[in-house]
């Protein structure tokens, strides 16, 4: 028998993934209607695959320098200066945005430091903050899921050391308008709050371009990557751009943890910058509209402006019970309690083919319409 003290105390602060629990509930269901997965339904573009195979054949399989190959860092920085307007010059190639987030929190958060997080939030924000000893400070954004400077002030978020920002947002699909980002940046600067902006869904934008808070403050670390924009979820490739001191500490940590981002993925990503992905992104706007049309008569939810999720109010404000019922009818969705301190909603991912979206909306509506 293992001694009770074997498992580290920090593990008590992390729950098993609620998404994994849904998969466990769905195990054995024949032909499930899967609206739970947060990854694109298109495949990695062929030029990226070809570049990866050439890299393998050429023997580019060894460790890279910890900070990532210079050619990729140069391309990433040029892209972000054009698109996000960030003023920093220091770049670290990371093992996905998740890897970058962990390194950033380890580098910045002392035990007891408050981490301001908009609720609803990406599931990792809460658990990684607690893992490093931080104290999540939740900023309620219900019912419209818009983070504002006023909501930050009302929540007492000025005491936080960092603000975790995600726009477009997983799980709500909401986009923070440019004018509000500017106001949040001014609030953060006035309160000495450093901003971590996670912009992994930036190119999935349906009602106009998505702006970045990096345009309005230098007290910012920008995290982004290739998982969503180029469907490279399994390749684990992201990047961080920010102040030299912060990137330096993150690089030091990467040296003793991830070592470097996957070398083949780094080589392959070099050709991604010349690819036109607009056809893929436009297809997702059509999927958003298909989901909206299928559900709006029966459900109450804010129309997503980006990403590929909708956060929907459940009957009786019981998202957990509704999700269990949906799964019994072969439709996989995620309870909102995975992403929030409340359990009134559920998340639908429309990163699926059109037929799956139609089948899923039919089932979800029938659960209300027919009282199933």
The yes-or-no verdict on residue 341 having pLDDT over 90 is: yes
**What are 186-229's pLDDT values in tens digits?**
999 999 999 999 999 999 999 999 999 999 999 999 999 999 99
Distance of CA 92 to the CA centre of its chain: 18
CA distances from 23 to 11, 293, 327 (A): 22, 27, 10
**What are 42-91's pLDDT values in tens digits?**
999 999 999 999 999 999 999 999 999 999 999 999 999 999 999 999 99
- For the segment 127-135, the average pLDDT, to the nearest whole number, is 96
pLDDT of residue 16: 66
pLDDT band at 10 (very low <50, low <70, confident <90, very high): confident
pLDDT of residue 26: 67
**What are 281-322's pLDDT values in tens digits?**
999 999 999 999 999 999 989 999 999 999 999 999 999 999
The Cα–Cα gap between 226 and 366 comes to 37
- For the segment 240-254, the average pLDDT, to the nearest whole number, is 98
Which has the closest alpha carbon to 290: 351, 334, 207? 351
- For the segment 364-369, the average pLDDT, to the nearest whole number, is 92
Q: How much of the chain, in percent, has pLDDT values that exceed 90?
A: 90
Which has the closest alpha carbon to 178: 167, 170, 188, 187? 167
User: The pTM is what?
Assistant: 0.95
- For the segment 18-23, the average pLDDT, to the nearest whole number, is 68
The Cα–Cα gap between 202 and 232 comes to 15
pLDDT of residue 345: 98
- The SS3 call for residue 347 is strand
**What are 161-195's pLDDT values in tens digits?**
999 999 999 999 999 999 999 999 999 999 999 99
- For the segment 333-337, the average pLDDT, to the nearest whole number, is 96
Contacts of 180-185 with C-beta under 8 Å, sequence gap 24+, read 180/146, 180/147, 180/148, 180/149, 181/211, 181/212, 181/213, 181/215, 181/216, 182/216, 183/148, 183/149, 184/147, 184/148, 184/149, 184/152, 184/213, 185/213, 185/216, 185/217, 185/220
Q: Tokens 């609720």 belong to which residue?
A: 119
- Contact of 16 with 127, CB cutoff 8 Å: no
- For the segment 17-30, the average pLDDT, to the nearest whole number, is 70
Half-sphere exposure of 52 (CA within 13 A, CB side): 15
- Contact of 268 with 52, CB cutoff 8 Å: yes
Terminal Cα-to-Cα distance of the chain (whole angstroms): 46
Host H or E run for residue 72: helix 70-83
pLDDT of residue 310: 98
The yes-or-no verdict on residue 268 having pLDDT over 70 is: yes
User: From the CA atom positions of the chain, what is the Rg in Å?
Assistant: 21
pLDDT band at 256 (very low <50, low <70, confident <90, very high): very high
Domains of the chain, first to last: 9-44+277-369 (3.90.1150.10), 46-274 (3.40.640.10)
Q: DSSP per residue over 87-149, as a string? A: ---EEEEESHHHHHHHHHHHHHPPTT-EEEEEES--HHHHHHHHHTT-EEEEEE-TTTT---H
Average pLDDT value over all residues in the chain: 95
- Contact of 72 with 93, CB cutoff 8 Å: yes
């Amino acid at each position: 028998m293992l001694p009770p003290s074997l498992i580290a105390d920090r593990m008590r602060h992390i729950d098993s993934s609620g998404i994994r629990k849904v998969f466990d509930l769905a195990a054995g269901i024949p032909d499930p209607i899967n609206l739970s997965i947060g990854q694109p339904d298109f495949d990695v573009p062929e030029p990226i695959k070809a570049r990866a195979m050439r890299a393998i054949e050429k023997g580019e399989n060894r460790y890279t320098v910890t900070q990532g190959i210079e050619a990729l860092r140069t391309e990433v920085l040029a892209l972000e200066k054009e698109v996000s307007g960030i003023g920093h010059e220091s770049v670290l190639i990371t093992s996905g945005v998740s890897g970058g987030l962990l390194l950033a929190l380890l580098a910045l958060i002392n035990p007891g430091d408050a981490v301001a997080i908009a609720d609803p939030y990406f599931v990792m924000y809460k658990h990684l903050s607690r893992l490093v000893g931080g104290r999540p400070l939740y900023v309620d954004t219900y019912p419209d899921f818009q983070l504002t400077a006023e909501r930050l002030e009302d929540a007492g978020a000025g005491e936080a050391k960092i603000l975790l920002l995600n726009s477009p947002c997983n799980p709500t699909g909401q986009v923070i308008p440019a004018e509000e980002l500017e106001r949040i940046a001014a609030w953060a600067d006035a309160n000495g709050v450093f901003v971590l902006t996670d912009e992994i869904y930036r190119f999935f934008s349906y009602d106009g371009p998505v702006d970045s808070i990096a345009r309005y403050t230098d007290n910012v670390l920008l995290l982004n990557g290739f998982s969503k924009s180029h469907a490279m979820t399994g390749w684990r490739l992201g990047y961080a751009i920010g102040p030299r001191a912060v990137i330096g500490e993150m690089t030091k940590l990467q040296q003793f943890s991830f070592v470097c981002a996957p070398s083949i993925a780094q080589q392959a990503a070099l050709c991604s910058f010349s690819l036109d992905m607009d056809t893929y992104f436009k297809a997702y706007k059509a999927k958003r509209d298909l989901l909206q049309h299928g559900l709006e008569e029966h459900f109450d939810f804010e129309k997503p402006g980006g990403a590929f999720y909708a956060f929907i109010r459940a009957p009786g404000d019981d998202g957990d019970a509704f999700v269990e019922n949906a799964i019994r009818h072969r439709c996989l969705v995620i309870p909102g309690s995975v992403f929030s301190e409340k359990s009134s909603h559920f998340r639908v991912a429309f990163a699926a083919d059109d037929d799956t979206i139609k089948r899923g909306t039919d089932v979800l509506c029938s659960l209300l319409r027919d009282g199933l």
